[in-house]
Structure 1
Amino acid sequence: MGKQYRYIGVDQPRLEGRNFVTGRAVYGKDEKIPGMLYGKVLRSPYAYCRIKAIDTSRAEALPGVQAVLTYKNAPAWKLGMPIPHKKILDEKAYFIGDGVALVAAVSEEIAEEACELIEVEYEKLKPVLSIDEALHPDSPQIYEDFPGNRVPTKLFEEAHQSFDCSVFGDPETGFSEADEIVEGDSTVTSAQNPLPPEPPVVIAEWEGDELTIRGSIHAPGALKLSSAPAMSLEHSKLRVIPSTVGASYGSKVISICGQIVMYTAALAKAAKRPVRIAYTKEEHLSVYMNRLKSKAHYKIGLKKDGTVTAITGQWDCDCGAASAEQGHMIGVGLISQPILAKTSHCNIQTSLVVTNTMPTGPYRGFGYLENTCHILNILYQGLEKIGMDPVDYFKHNRLQVGDPIYHAYMCAGFETCSGPDILPTIQKGAEAFRWYERFKGWDRPSYETEDKIYAVGVGNTGQSDVGEQVSNENVQLNYDGGVIVFCGAAEFGPGTRDVMRKIAAEVLNVQLDKVKVTKCDTDAVPAEWGSTGSRSTYSMGCATIDAAKKARAKLLEQAAGMLHCPPEALDTRDGMIFFADAPEKLMLPWIAVMGPNYSITGVGHFGGNYSIPLQQLQFVEIAVDKHTGKVELMEQVCATDCGQIINPTGLKGQLDGYFPGIDMATREITRWDQDGRIVNANMIDYKTRTWNELPKHKNVISETPPSSTPEGPFGAFGAGEPSLAPGIPAIVMAIRCATGKWFNHLPITPGDIQNALKEREER
């Protein structure tokens, strides 16, 4: 535990907690605008097809229908990055569930009936349903913009920004120095669904040529940046006002969210009235988005002491039917390499392909979850060959302060690691789990009973985008001692706005209930990327501190002029100004300095910092049923370093959200049939863990501020997002120890394990 603060690190009631638990919070479906219509989407029954004919006359004649759009009369808007390529409505449909027509009506029931009245004649085309099919030279060309079905590697041509590779050193030299070389394939194609409780909801309203978007929007600033040009709008003419968001887990961020935004905006423009589209849970599961699918081949050289001499690889990713954030995900995913396999010699190439499946997109573990699974799957097989304990490996080969980090995403160059050193956290986690007592060696379980095999595993993960993108926050001091934080964060669960309130209160030394955080409205707050990745606490926190300090400095400078003393001689607490060395001498209220008709505003800015590797380890114990092959998670320990805890309960909630990652190893999967149709798009057949199935769990949290950020948010940085990633390789390792078999695919099913146990018995 570091320095004691008034609010930082101290639990306080949530800013809007009472609204959540009493049902007063306003979610997207609660929003009502006078004259609002309801939109529905007619969707394609085929994975890839051409619309030969479409007749909307019966739908248009249905009483209550106000607008019907098809590719013939829809705006010529296009979605996608790095090249806009996915039309809002097209003569072709690119996956089962792709939009064919849009209807706006006075009720959802009438809109649904109108969709059923639209007559469509389709020409079926041969779909491309996997990475291998997309890369095959004889496969159909899905988009003219993407020859060979490959998405271009440049994210922004004018910035020469590329995400496609990490190349440095001389791998051949590195491999020549290795005592052991291991290589192999790995696939992560489970296409896990983020599955936040609330399906996507968007309301669009036009006033002349200006558009306002409301609804379930996780990152309003980021959505505005991507959607305004996609809809040929000037940036200043698109306004985004998020409702309370019923969770996102990354899935309600930018362009994937943009498709429903564009659908709604197009209908509202055609109908000349506000329109709301609210996806059903089935649509949420079958047409919105799921996790990036990928496969990789890695080759890793190791010395006997665990030093990685070289790593090379090919990482291929499937973005589904539209390319949006997936390129950014690959760039962030490549940053996991120096954290998991630090080396001086590297050559990792990537590709991103389009297929005729539901689009993939952001989900907690933005690209690095997938690459963590690939790298550790192969690396662990090398550690087994040299007989090294994985915990000892993570200690030996950890990133340390001063080490170079190759950052493919934002700078395509090296950053210098500023810490923190993860070694104490590794040691604390191993001790809490009793690792050295329970791990009996590779290919060996911890112990067996008549019916079950018990084994342990460990995983690590990380990225260094806690300081990604710029942030801007304003802090206003009012004459009555009140403070207003103008913040561009939406409320979607983790309490980002609460964190900014505590930061401002701590800097200004005022009562917490005197600090108000504005509702997010892109017309009323400074430009802000939003709460994505693990950047909020650090990036937005740095900007809030900057704004609060500037406002405080202005206040004390103004008071110093009245009191004829230097500003440094003054301090402030709870709306009163006093001499720092003699508080009893004078207590001057803020109103005496500002007057009743004035306020003081500090304008805060943060410019980005990519030198902080956010890491997390997870230790797991599993029990494998010898008869059924079922894997039961018995215990899990999470070990992480967050620099400085700001919101203890919020941090615990973030770290406790590890289990969807664990389930990706053995349970969660989106299943398609041979025609590209998702067959488990419901909450019964899509298997997720319920709360009563959670195992024994413990968080081990270190607080070590990184060396480069004494001016940061009290030494804090994000710690929540990585919790999904390290448990997956830990489970895979434990299954290896229990069954004697390495699995290079996810998820690992009970049938896979039954077969492995049979092979084990036969050996």
Structure 2
Amino acid sequence: MSEYRHIGKVRRRQDGPGIVTGKALYSDDIKIQNALYMKVLRSPYPHAEIVSIDTSKAEALPGVKSVMTYKNAPDWKTGIPACRPVIGKKVRFTGDTVATVAAVSNDIAEAALDLIEVEYKQLTPVYDVEDAIKDGAPEVYSADDHIESKGYHYDHNCLPPGSWFEGDDPPFYKIQEGDPEKGFEECDVVVEGKVSYDKPTFPGAPEAPFIAARWEDEGHVTVWASSQGPNMVAKPLGLTINAHIFTITPNVGGSYGNKDALSYNAMLTVAAAKVAGAPIRYYMTKEEQMLVYERRLSNKFIGKIGMTKDGMVKAIKGDWLVSTGISSELTQGQVAEGLGELNLVLNKTPNWDVVSKVVVSNLPPVGIARGFGGQELKSCALHLLTRAMKKLDLDPVEVFKKNFCSPGEEYYWRTGHKYRNPMMDYGPCFDAAAEKFGWSRRWKGWTTPSRVEGNKRYGVGFSLHSSGDPQSDETFAYVRIENDQVMVHCVTPECGNGQRLGVVKVAAEILNVPMERVTLVPCNNGNNPADFGLAGSRGTITGGAAVGRAAEAAKQKLFEEAAKKMGCKPEELDTKDLVVFKKDDPSVSLPWIAICPLYYSISGTGGLEGDFNHNNCVMNFVEVEVDTDTGLVKLSDLLSASDVGQVVNPLELKMQFEGGLGSAGMDTAQLEEHILDPRIGRMMTHNMIDYKWRTFNELPPFNTEILESKFSTAHPFKAIGIGEITGAAGPAAVLMAVENALGGIEINEYPVTPDVILKALGKA
């Protein structure tokens, strides 16, 4: 039981009643005076040039106020590097934007799309990442597009590496150190091969993305966004269009990282508002969201790994081919983090030569999503590593425990520099989780199922994921004490994980007041100080630290004001329930209203300079059931484990672990995938029936092992949090378990759908 008043205790979310009763406002509920409704005409071809476009009939339709095409769209581009125009003369994937219509209703805008006449010249598309980098492959962009970044130029459909994470540092897209070839010579086993995680997966939340925009004047735009980070919308967009962006984020619903920046949708809507000379609102349909909106990256790892018989990985070499579709929202940042995440897991490896390539193709674009690159790389690279463990007959839990980053060890992170883990020791978590799952009892070796029941074979698997982001990037907060309340200013949206509740608890705990006396102001970048947003699993430490420091500063000022009235020193005072009292004689007291009367505020500010020296970690233990007659794979049992430091929100923590199954997390191992029809370049799984989701009644037994080691972090109560990483280790664990269930049959692709299983068994 927590020793605190609020921290670690179950408390009702202040926004909870509004959400469950339907009173809470989401983006599409916002009324914007004189706003027009936007619909998008989309390309029927994966690769084509627009020969001619006639919008006259659409413009003549009553209720249509404007039509935007490549001819009148602003000359803006988004992406890293900037490569995707608002609307181009060339379309690059099936569903790419050809025109937008702004009208007084959605129905009129939809009807107008049918009146636009377009003539296309079809071009040859390319979809596979290996095909795209070959000599003579169709070029998604041309030399005329001038795609370059920091001296790196577009070549063979490869985008220049690097993202805004680097500052003045060289682009971080490879780890090369030691001597891999010499390292392989010292190994007892060397394995090589290719593992593919190349079927794009959809990480989208039930609520489709929403953007509305209104130009206030030539240099200022108000944007309403269903984003989990107002500044992630405002800052990149403002740089793109050379304007100041005021972003308002009402309740988001789910996001799963996928509605973070909303970069292209935001740019498109703001451009349409500029052309129309009126506010524009754009709410994607579910089909649009699944067909054209940014999805997870997909990839292949082609390489080799060497290991000694004591289970230490001595060398790794390979090409990481990353498919980013037609553009990169932040793929290079995902690559930088993915390399760091692999380096955390294989931290004792002295010899590296892993090089990434970010490759464009005629597939839908890639965007930000939970797991942020490391899930895809490790799902492939760590699965290749299992080949070495199998040859040496080594227990995977022990191997990963030996190779994982220990206290005092250094690891690469997204800047390309190394950082040091000061004290985060996850060794006890390995042991406690393995014992709770019953690993030693269930694990029968690499070629033996854990049990067989008729045509059902069972196997167990394990993997882990770690990130260096939990204390990353600058964060600021203000806390105002008034006579009967506390106001917290911190850019923390509600996107499903209870993060607003977490920062309110911190303020309430430090100021020792009831939860209902604390209000977190609405989420926007006008009334709140700057913040990177809820990205990278950082919200618990960084938001808690900034709000905690601001609350402490406000409390100190409160005591200074009270000390003048009470004839004592500030350090002699304490507070509880809006009353300040002397520590040695609580009968000597003053209510806050006597210190801070009506129309008076006492304010404190707090900030955090982020660092990459704190890593989190999650471990996934799974058992699968494989039906050898049908090829169907089911999760029959699983356990997720982590050391989260001080638990802040117990219920929300539980939900975060269980939510890691879906949203393109663990379920990408055996369920989720987009299916492409290469003849027309269209994703055929663009609805909730054809895209295979796990329904609630199919949830497996789920257990957790949560440690609270109270490592020293910037959080005032030593929390670490868990964030996005809960299901990121799952795919590799599931594929290991499937192979074990099948007696060691090797499978080198995700997801392991029934057709893949039957093929591996020689039945298809």
TM range (shorter): over 0.9
5+ unaligned residues in a row in structure 2: which ranges? Answer: 148-153
Q: In structure 2, what is the equivalent of residue 147 of structure 1? A: 155
Cα distance between partner residues in 1 of 2:225 and 2:475: 23
Instruction: Show CA shifts across 1:462-519 (max 9, x none).
Output: 1111112111111111123x11001212111111111110011111111111000000
Instruction: State whether residues 141 and 147 of structure 1, in contact with CA within 8 Å, keep that contact through their aligned partners in structure 2.
Output: no
Please say if residues 173 and 355 of structure 2, whose CA atoms lie closer than 8 Å, have aligned partners that are also in contact: yes
- SS in structure 2 opposite 1:485? strand
Work out the CA distance in 2 between the residues paired with 1:30 and 1:100: 28
Amino acid of the structure 2 residue aligned with 1:600: I
- Contact 1:372–1:725, Cα closer than 8 Å, also in 2: no
Partners of 2:55 and 2:115 within 8 A in 1:
yes
From 256, 273, 276, the equivalent of 1:249 is 256
Say whether residues 1:630 and 2:629 are aligned partners: no
> What residue number does 2:135 align with?
137
Q: Could you tell me whether the CA contact under 8 Å between 1:508 and 1:548 is conserved in 2?
A: yes
Query: In 2, distance between residues paired with 1:477 and 1:555?
Result: 8
The alignment's C-alpha RMSD in Å is: 1.6
Structure 2 counterpart of 1:4: 3
**Does the C-alpha gap of structure 1 residues 312 and 581 become closer, same or farther in structure 2, counting only changes over 3 Å?**
farther
Q: Separation in 2 of the partners of 1:592 and 1:673?
A: 71
Q: TM-score, normalised by structure 2?
A: 0.95
Q: Deviations over 1:411-457 (max 9, x none)?
A: x2211112321111111111111111111111110111222111111
Q: How many Å apart are 1:757 and its aligned residue?
A: 2.9
Structure 2: how far apart are the matches of 1:288 and 1:377? 29
Instruction: Select which of 214, 219, 226 maps to 1:216.
Output: 226
Counterpart of 1:682, as a letter, is N
- Write the distance in 1 (CA, Å) between the matches of 2:138 and 2:400: 45
Q: Is structure 2 residue 62 aligned with structure 1 residue 63? A: yes
| TM-aligned CA deviation for residue 339 of structure 1 | 2.7
The count of corresponding residues between Structure 1 and Structure 2 is: 747
C-alpha distance in 2, partners of 1:373/1:564?
A: 64
Bigger CA drift: 300-309 or 102-111?
Answer: 300-309
Work out whether 1:620 is the aligned partner of 2:618: no
Take 2:646 and 2:683, find their aligned partners in 1: how far apart are those partners?
Answer: 43
Q: What amino acid sits opposite 2:593 in the alignment?
A: I
The Cα of 1:651 is off from its aligned counterpart by 0.5
Q: Distance in 2 between matches of 1:36 and 1:306?
A: 63
Asked if the contact 1:154–1:160 (Cα under 8 Å) also holds between the matched residues in 2, the reply is no
For the 8 Å contact 2:214–2:221, the answer to whether it is kept is yes
- Helix, strand or coil: the match of 1:716? coil
Give the corresponding residue for 2:359.
Answer: 353
In structure 1, the residue matched to 2:150 is none
1:269 aligns with 2:278: no
What letter corresponds to residue 175 of structure 2 in structure 1? S
User: Tell me, what secondary structure is at the counterpart of 1:735?
Assistant: helix
Is residue 88–residue 262 contact of structure 1 (8 Å, CA) maintained in 2?
yes
Q: Distance in 2 between matches of 1:705 and 1:303?
A: 35
Amino acid at match of 1:444: T
**Structure 1 stretches of at least 4 aligned residues deviating more than 6 Å after TM superposition:** none
Separation of aligned partners in 1, 2:50 and 2:324: 24
Does the 8 A contact of 1:499 with 1:646 survive in 2?
yes
**Cα distance change, pair 176–55 in 1 and its aligned pair in 2 (3 A):** same
Are residues 1:313 and 2:318 paired?
yes
Deviation at 1:375, TM superposition (A): 2.0
- Match status 1:125 vs 2:123: yes
User: Structure 1 residues 686, 164: closer, same or farther in 2, change over 3 A?
Assistant: same
Give 1:432's match in structure 2, choosing from 436, 441, 445.
Answer: 436
How big is each residue's C-alpha offset from its partner over 1:717-737, in whole Å with a ceiling of 9 and x where there is no partner?
221311222221111111111
Among 461, 467, 473, the residue aligned to 1:463: 467
Structure 1 match to 2:578 = 575
Q: Which secondary structure state, in structure 2, belongs to the residue aligned with residue 128 of structure 1? A: coil
Gaps of 5+ in 1: none
- In the other structure, the counterpart of 2:109 is 111
Corresponding letter in the other structure for 1:668: E
Q: Deviations over 1:591-625 (max 9, x none)?
A: 33233332111111111121122111111111111
CA contact under 8 A between 1:86 and 1:322: conserved in structure 2?
A: yes
1:370 and 2:376 equivalent? yes
Matched residue, 1:344:
350
Aligned residue type for 2:533: G
TM-score, normalised to structure 1, is: 0.95
> Quick check: 1:443 aligned with 2:447?
yes
Q: Contact (CA 8 Å) 2:66, 2:102: kept in 1 or not?
A: yes
Rounded Cα–Cα distance in structure 2 between residues aligned with 1:171 and 1:565: 68
Q: Percent identity?
A: 39
Which of 283, 287, 291 is equivalent to 1:286?
291
Equivalent residue number for residue 181 of structure 1: 190
Distance 1:581 1:741 in 2: 72
Distance 2:404 2:169 in 1: 31
Deviations 1:559-583 (A, max 9, x none): 2334343322211111111122222
Separation in 2 of the partners of 1:725 and 1:613? 15
Structure 1 residue 76, shift from structure 2 partner: 1.0
Out of 390, 398, 422, which is 1:418 matched to? 422
Q: Does the CA contact (< 8 Å) of 1:420 and 1:643 recur in 2? A: no
Matches of 1:154 and 1:393 in 2, distance apart?
Answer: 32
Q: CA deviation at 1:126?
A: 1.2
Q: Find the counterpart in structure 2 of residue 596 from structure 1.
A: 598
Partner of 1:532: 535
The match for 2:175 is 166
Matched, 1:493 2:492: no
Q: 2:303 is matched with which residue: 298, 302, 310?
A: 298
2:151: which partner in 1?
none
**How far has the Cα of 1:744 moved from its partner?**
1.2
Which residue does 1:474 correspond to in 2? 478
- For 1:693 and 1:85, the matched residues in 2 are separated by 42
Q: Report the secondary structure of 2:502's partner residue.
A: helix
Give the SS at the match of 2:12: coil
**Deviates most, 387-396 or 156-165:** 156-165
Q: Secondary structure of the equivalent of 2:118?
A: strand
Q: Residues 77 and 232 of structure 1 are in contact (CA less than 8 Å); yes or no, is this contact kept in structure 2?
A: no
Whole-Å separation in 2 of the counterparts to 1:346 and 1:506: 46
